[in-house]
């Protein structure tokens, strides 16, 4: 695979920022889009824009077909058994809220427990907090060690017959930790608990097989997967989804409506009320076709090289401390520079054309754990290069000189 | 000097800078140099929480003029604060309330005062105006 060829697949990567060539290291927040995804979006609006699932006319048939092909592409991408287990949503946050609201309200009662971890994104904390408050249930937190790894012994002792669901991220967006979700799922199932995996940070970086993981729910966003914003996925096991009450009412999710009684549509439409993000779904399908072409062998090798080089580079700079030193770690690197506010460093790097993220990354409990105001985070995708890392190094040195 | 005269003076100073580097070095110097607030006034009550950096703002009335002191934990934020204080402190409340602060745009720092910036500066300017409103009504 030619890296220069890959670079040209992403038109935005060749732009300049503040007059300098862009160094894009904020892939944990969102990834850039390959030309074929951008073309798919244009193609939809110029060639066959129409509403899906109902129209008898040609364009509606065409749009419906493309949307459903995308669903199948996504199904195969994560190894789901059926395409109706793939529910389109506006994103990871919406997918989690759907489960917390629909499954949660029907299955969690007073004195039950919901288990999350100390390194969850706010999106995988707040919906469960709201559910627990409403039901009088308890939210319990699996602690982590100083390296940013979950303490599995503590997880084991927190699990009990009261645990109804464990909601855990596959990869931490702040620390880069790859959590042992397969083991977590097996342990939770032993106690009769379900598991929801927040895959927002994992799907673009490693192959996922929801069947071999045995995940009950697996959720992710399209825009972190080289697809458009505003579209995401909820995967759920057929039997569980069938048992769940609908989440939102409206068009597309019904079988028949009278003022006395409404019967609901079958999966996946039961959870897809209203006109969906049609172009988003089609664009996401294209993005996955693109990833399939690149292949995870290449992605994993490239990102592991970037992670190792960036780690080594950061360790060589005085006063830099990497936050999150898990043994199993993805290409997401948070760091702090002793004596400097992350926002100041980020502001200088931005002037140099380097896009990194600063702040708490929607994980305030992690900042409290390390007692820091925020971190500077560089998160890589397979299109990043060793040259990007050299530029980051030069940028950090400039920032240190200017701010000292 | 009036608010607009001070703004003009700052714009002229910034005109001398040839690159972003000089401009930010100057802001950082401003951030380092100025003792902005009494430690006894750097309290939670005076804290304006931004998403990323924190800003403390104190206001008092002295001889009919508004006097602001402030601080931040981020140094570039602090540099911009010192400019805002230079413009708005020791002015009467009505003038502070009416100040448009066009100089921020003219010296190319608009992005730092954009509501999406989350550094606390937008809230700080709003709070300065609130103080001006309160003091102009209590006179």
Q: Check pLDDT > 70 for residue A1.
A: no
Owning domain of residue B91: 3-138
**Looking at chain A, which residues constitute the CATH 3.40.640.10 domain(s)?**
38-292
- Show residues of chain A in contact with B24, CB under 8 Å: 347-348, 351, 402
pLDDT band at A251 (very low <50, low <70, confident <90, very high): confident
Q: Mutating which of A336, A344, A360 best tests the B interface, going by the most B Cβ atoms within 10 A?
A: A344
Q: What are the tens digits of pLDDT across the range A93-119?
A: 999 999 999 999 999 999 999 999 999
Pick from A351, A374, A402: CB nearest B52: A374
For residue B138, the model assigns a pLDDT of: 67
pLDDT band at A350 (very low <50, low <70, confident <90, very high): very high
Q: Which residues pair with A141 in a beta bridge?
A: A116
Residue A271 pLDDT more than 90?
yes
For residues A398 and A368, the answer to whether their CB atoms sit within 8 Å is: no
- Say if CB B70 and CB B37 are below 8 A apart: yes
Q: What is the pLDDT of residue B36?
A: 73
| Cβ neighbours of B75 in A, within 8 Å | 341, 344, 403
- The predicted-structure confidence for A50-61, as pLDDT tens digits, reads as follows 999 878 899 999
Mean residue pLDDT across chain B: 87
Are the Cβ atoms of B118 and A341 closer than 8 angstroms?
Answer: no
**Pairwise CB contact (< 8 Å): B52 & A348:** no
pLDDT of B139 above 60: no
> How many CB pairs lie under 8 A apart between chains A and B?
40
pLDDT, residue B50, reads 67
- Do the beta carbons of residue A389 and residue A306 sit within 8 Å? yes
In CATH, which of 3.40.50.300, 3.90.1150.10, 3.20.20.240, 1.10.1740.10 is domain A3-32+295-403?
Answer: 3.90.1150.10
Residue of A380 and B44 predicted with greater confidence: A380
For A83, A178, A199, B79, B97, the CA distances from A92, given in Å and listed in that order, are 18, 18, 8, 38, 43
CATH 3.90.1150.10 range(s) for chain A read 3-32+295-403
The stretch A381-399 carries a mean pLDDT of 98
Interface test with B, best of A20, A339, A343, A372 (most B CBs within 10 A): A343
Q: Which pLDDT tens digit goes with each residue over A173-209?
A: 999 999 999 999 999 999 999 999 999 999 999 999 9
pLDDT tens-place string over residues B47-106: 887 667 888 999 999 999 999 999 988 999 899 899 999 999 999 999 999 999 999 889
Yes or no, beta carbons of A343 and B74 under 8 Å apart? yes
User: Are the Cβ atoms of A341 and B21 closer than 8 angstroms?
Assistant: no
* Catalytic-role residue among B22, B49, B51, B100: B51
Whether A373 sits inside 8 A of B52 (CB atoms) is yes
CA distance A209 to A79: 5
Higher pLDDT residue, B34 or A97?
A97
Of A359, A345, A322, nearest in space to A397 by CA: A345
- Asked if the ipTM is above 0.95, the reply is no
Of A341, A348, A402, nearest to B53 by CB-CB distance is: A341
How large is the average pLDDT for residues A144-168?
Answer: 98
- Whether B51 is catalytic is yes
Determine, for residues B20 and A351 on separate chains, whether the beta-carbon distance falls below 8 Å.
yes
Residues of B with CB under 8 A from a CB of A: 20-21, 24-25, 28, 51-54, 73-77, 118-119
Q: Cβ–Cβ of B76/A347 closer than 8 Å?
A: yes
Of B20, B54, B75, Cβ closest to residue A403: B75
- How many folded domains does chain B comprise? 1
Q: Which residues of A touch B52 (CB under 8 A)?
A: 342-343, 358-360, 373-374
Mean pLDDT lowest among A217-226, A380-389, B103-112: B103-112
- Residue A369 or B48, more confident: A369
CB nearest to A358's CB, from B24, B28, B52? B52
**How far, CA to CA in Å, does A9 sit from each of A12, A14, A21, B119?**
9, 10, 16, 35
pLDDT (tens digit per residue) in A253-265? 888 888 888 888 8
Chain A residues touching B51 at Cβ < 8 A = 359-360
Residue of A nearest to B53 (CA): A343
A33-81 pLDDT, tens digit per residue, is 999 999 999 999 999 999 998 788 999 999 999 999 999 999 999 999 9
- Spell out which residues of chain A touch residue B20, defining contact as CB-CB under 8 Å: 18, 351
* CB–CB contact B119 A403 (8 Å): no
**Above 90 in pLDDT, residue A154?**
yes
Q: What is the full DSSP assignment across A351-398?
A: HTTEE-EEE-TT-HHHHHHHT-S-EEEEE--TT--HHHHHHHHHHHHH
Burial tier of B8 (Cβ tally within 10 Å: 0-12, 13-18, 19+): middle
Comparing alpha-carbon positions, the chain A residue that sits nearest to B25 is: A402
What number of other Cβ atoms are within 10 A of residue A146's Cβ? 10
Q: What is the pLDDT of residue B10?
A: 96
- Whichever domain contains B27, its CATH number is 3.90.1010.10
CB A86 within 8 A of CB A281: no
**B73 chain-A contacts, CB cut-off 8 A:** 341, 373
**pLDDT at position B38 over 90:** no
Class of domain A38-292: alpha beta
pLDDT at A2 over 80: no
Residues of chain B in contact with residue A360, where contact means CB-CB under 8 angstroms, are 51-52
Q: Which residue of B has its CA nearest to A18?
A: B20
């Amino acid at each position: 695979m030619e890296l220069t060829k890959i670079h040209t697949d992403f038109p935005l990567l060749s732009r300049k920022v503040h007059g300098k060539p862009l160094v894009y290291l904020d892939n944990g927040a969102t990834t850039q889009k390959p030309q074929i995804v951008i073309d798919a979006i244009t193609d939809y609006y110029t060639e066959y824009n129409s509403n899906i699932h109902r129209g008898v006319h040609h364009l509606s048939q065409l749009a419906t077909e493309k949307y459903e092909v995308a669903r199948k592409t996504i199904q195969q991408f994560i190894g789901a058994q059926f395409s109706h287990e793939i529910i389109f949503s506006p994103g990871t946050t919406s997918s989690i809220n759907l489960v917390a609201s629909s499954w949660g309200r029907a299955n969690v009662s007073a004195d039950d427990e919901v288990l999350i971890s100390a390194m969850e994104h706010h999106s995988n904390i707040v919906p469960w907090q709201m559910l627990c408050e409403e039901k009088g249930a308890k939210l319990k937190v699996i602690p982590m060690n100083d390296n940013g790894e979950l303490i599995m012994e503590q997880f084991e002792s927190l699990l009990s017959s009261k645990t109804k669901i464990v909601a855990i991220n596959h990869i931490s967006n702040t620390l880069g930790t790859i959590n042992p979700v397969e083991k977590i799922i097996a342990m939770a199932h032993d106690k009769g608990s379900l598991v929801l995996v927040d895959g927002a940070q994992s799907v673009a970086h490693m192959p996922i097989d929801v069947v071999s993981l045995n995940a009950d729910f697996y959720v992710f966003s399209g825009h972190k997967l080289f697809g458009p914003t505003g579209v995401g996925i909820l995967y759920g096991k057929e039997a569980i989804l069938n048992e769940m009450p609908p989440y939102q009412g409206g068009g597309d999710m019904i079988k028949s409506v009278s003022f006395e009684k409404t019967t609901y549509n079958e999966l996946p439409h039961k959870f897809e009320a209203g006109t969906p993000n049609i172009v988003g779904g089609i664009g996401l399908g294209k993005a996955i076709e693109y990833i399939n072409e690149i292949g995870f062998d290449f992605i994993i090798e490239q990102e592991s090289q970037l992670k190792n080089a960036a780690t080594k580079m950061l360790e060589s700079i005085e006063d830099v401390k990497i936050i999150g030193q898990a043994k199993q770690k993805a290409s997401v690197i948070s760091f702090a520079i002793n004596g400097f506010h992350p926002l100041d460093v980020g502001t200088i790097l931005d002037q140099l054309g380097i896009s990194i993220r600063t702040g708490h990354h929607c994980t305030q409990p992690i900042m409290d754990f390390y007692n820091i105001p925020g971190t500077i985070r560089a998160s890589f995708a397979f299109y990043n290069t060793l040259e990007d890392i050299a530029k980051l190094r030069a940028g950090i040195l400039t920032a240190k000189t200017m701010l000292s | 000097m009036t608010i607009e005269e001070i703004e003009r003076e700052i714009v002229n100073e910034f005109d001398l800078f040839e690159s972003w580097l000089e401009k930010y070095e100057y802001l950082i110097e401003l951030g380092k140099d100025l003792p902005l607030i009494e430690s006894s006034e750097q309290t939670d009550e005076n804290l304006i929480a931004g998403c990323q950096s924190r800003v403390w703002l104190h206001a008092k009335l002295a001889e009919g003029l508004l006097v602001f002191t402030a601080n931040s934990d981020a140094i570039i934020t602090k540099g911009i604060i010192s400019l805002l204080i230079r413009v708005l402190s020791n002015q009467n409340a009505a003038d502070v309330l009416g100040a448009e602060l066009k100089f921020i745009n003219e010296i190319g720092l608009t992005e730092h005062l954009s509501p999406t910036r989350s550094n606390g500066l937008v809230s700080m300017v709003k709070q300065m105006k609130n103080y001006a409103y309160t003091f102009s009504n209590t006179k």
